[in-house]
Amino acid sequence: MVSRNLRTIPSNPNHEEDGAELQPELENILRNAVRALGGSAAVVATWDDAVRRFVVTGAFGLDRQQIARIRPLLNEAIPDLALSREQFALLSALFPQSALPISTTGEMQNPVMAVPLQTHDENVGLIFVLRSSDAANFSQLDPPVLAAFAEQAAIAVQSARLAHLLAQEKQRVESILEGSADGIYTVDAGRRIVSINPAMERMLGLTSEEVLGLPCAVALNWRDREGRPICPGRCPLLHAPTFATDNVTELSATVRSRDGRTTDVALVYSVVRSPELVPLNAVVNVRDMTRVRETEDMRSTFLSMLGHQLQTPLAIIKGYTNTLARPDAIWDNGTLHPIFEAIEEETDHMSQLMNRLLLASRLETGELPIRHDQVNMATVAKKVVSRISPTSQKHHFSVEFPEDLPPVEGDPDLLEEVLVNLLDNAVKYSPGGGEIGVGGSVDGRGTVTVKVNDSGLGVPRWESRRIFERFHRSQNPNSSHPRGMGLGLYICDEIMKAHGGGISVSDNPGGGSVFTLAFPDQGRERP
C-alpha cells in the first residue's frame, strides 16, 4: 500500500505530457545522479491529486515504452521503497510478474534505489535510479548521494509548480482586467504607463502600443472639472501618505479622448510602497462617471423645475386667498367667481403635475398595473381631440382612421394619456397655429401605427432620441414657449414599451414633426 505521507502532498499541475520547461532541468539532474551512482537510468515521479496516482515528471535513460513497464510499480512498490529503511532492492523482487525495463543503451535494469523528494518537511514526489541487471546492488552508502540529487529535483519541481500557479494567477488577473467595464492602468515608480486594459483604450480612443512607456501626465492629461491639470502636482505617487496604510486615493477628473469627447471619471489610485514608504508602482481604476454626473445634474434640474412649476400656482392661490381673507372687504358674486375659477385652475395644474410625477415613477418601477382591453384607437383619438381642440383657436385638428383598423390590446386610459401628451405638445410647439392631424393605419403584418403630425417648430435630428428621456426638455432655439417638466414624452415612451410597442419622431415634409406610435401585431405575445 502507498505510504500515507506520499499521498498527502499538493496537487501537481504537470501531468506526464506536461512540464516541458521542467523536463530539461530534471533530465540534467537525473543524468548527474546516474553518473554519480553508476546507474543506467533514473526517473522523477510526482503525485497528482487530479488523477490520484504518481505520474512521471522526468526521466533519463528510458524511453516511453520502458517507462510504461515501470508505471505499475509507482502505484505501490517504489513509493513504499522510498520510505523504507533500506531504500534499495531489485525490481524482480518488488514485482516478479513484470518484465524488466531496458535502458536506451540496451541494458536490462534490475537494481533500484528510491528516495522521497522533500521541501519544507513536505513530500512532493520521489526519485529512483536503476542499474543494469549484471551490476551490483545498491548499498547503504548510496541513499545519501541520491538524497542530494533528490533535494535538487524537489526544488526544481516546487519552482515549476510555483511558476505554474503564478502563470495561472497572472492569466486570471489579466482576464479580469480584460473583461472589466472600468478602465484600469498601471504605472511604475517613474509614473510611466506599464499596462492598460481594453476599457481604458476605448475611453482614450488610443491603443496600448501608443501609450505604453509614456509618462501618464503626457499620455492621459488628467484635468479636474475646472480644466486645471492634475498631473503631476496632485499625483498620489508624489505625496507621502500621512499613515503607512494610506495607500488608496480617489480623485475626480476629466479626460479628453482622441475624437474630442470629454468624459467625467473617478480615479482610484492604489499605490504600492516600500517599507520606507517610497512608491514602487500604482494601479489606477478609472470609472466613467458620465451617467452619475448626468443623474446629479438631472436631480438638480428637476428640483429647480419643480420649484418653478409650483411657485407660480402657489403664489396665485396665496394671493387670492389673502385677498379673500381681508376683513374689511365685501365681495360680490361677480368678483368671487373668476377668483374661484383661477384658484381651481391653478389647483388643477398642480394636481396634474403631481399625477404626472407619480405616473412617471410608477412606470419606471414597473408598479403600474396595465389592463389588457381591446382598444379602438380611432375612438380614443376623437375623444382626445374633442377635449383639446377648444383650448386653441389657432389650430385646425383632423382625425383620419380607416374603418377596418383593428383594435389594439392595451390599457385605454394609458393610451389616452399618450395621445393627450402628443397633442398637447403639438399645440405648444406650433405657436403660429396650423394643422394638427391624428391618423392610423395597419400593414400586412398586422402592425398598427398611429401618427400625430403638426406644422410647428419640429425636432432637431440630434435631439430625436433624447426628447424621450426623463426630465429632458427641448433645446430648440426657435422655441419661445415656456418649457415644462420634461415628462410628457418620457411617459409616452414608457407606456408604449409597456404595451410591447414603441414611439419615434421624424420630420413632417411640410414642416413640423410626426410622432409615430407602433403597436405589435395582435397575434404576438408582449413582454
pLDDT of 419? 93
Residue 453 parent element (H or E): strand 448-454
Domains of the chain, by residue range, sit at: 4-167, 180-288, 293-365, 373-519
419: CB partners within 8 A, 6+ apart: 380, 381, 384, 438, 450, 452
22-37 helix and 142-179 helix, angle to the nearest 10 degrees? 180
**In sequence order, what are the beta bridge partners of 282?**
187, 271
CB 12, CB 46: distance < 8 Å:
yes
Considering the domain 180-288, what is its CATH architecture? 2-Layer Sandwich (3.30)
Question: Residue 79 corresponds to which cell in the numbers above?
Answer: 513509493
Q: Which residues make Cβ contacts (< 8 Å) with residue 48, sequence separation at least 6?
A: 11, 12, 15, 54, 55
Q: Is the pTM of this model over 0.75?
A: no
Euclidean distance between CA atoms 469 and 301, whole angstroms: 14
Q: How does strand 434-442 pair with strand 395-400?
A: parallel
228 Cβ contact partners less than 8 Å away, ≥ 6 residues apart:
none
Q: Are 169 and 17 in contact (CB under 8 A)?
A: no
Is residue 187 classed exposed, middle or buried when 0-12, 13-18 and 19+ CB atoms within 10 A define those classes? buried
Most distant pair of Cα atoms in the chain: their distance: 137
80, 83, 113, 144 from 86: Cα distances, Å: 11, 9, 9, 12
Burial 163-178 (b: 16+ CB within 10 A, else e): ebeeeeeeeeeeeebe
DSSP-assigned states of every residue in 126-168: EEEEEEETTSPPP-TTHHHHHHHHHHHHHHHHHHHHHHHHHHH
Q: How far apart are CA 239 and CA 93, in angstroms?
A: 72
Q: Which CATH superfamily is domain 4-167 in?
A: GAF domain (3.30.450.40)
Residue 469: Cβ-neighbour burial (10 angstroms; 0-12, 13-18, 19+): middle
pLDDT at 13: 42
Q: Say yes or no: domain 293-365 is CATH 1.10.287.130.
A: yes
Residue 133 neighbours by CB distance under 10 Å: 16
pLDDT tens track for 173-219: 767 767 677 888 888 888 888 888 888 888 888 888 888 888 888 88
* Strand-pair partners of 250: 268
| Cis preceding linkage at 232, omega within 30 | yes
Low-confidence ranges of the chain (pLDDT < 50): 1-19, 480-482, 525-527
Q: Looking at domain 373-519, does it have CATH number 3.30.565.10?
A: yes
4-167 and 180-288 have identical folds: yes
pLDDT at 303: 67
Question: Which amino acid is residue 372, in one-letter code?
Answer: H
Cell numbers linked to 2: 502507498
Measure the CA–CA gap between 317 and 323, rounded to whole angstroms: 10
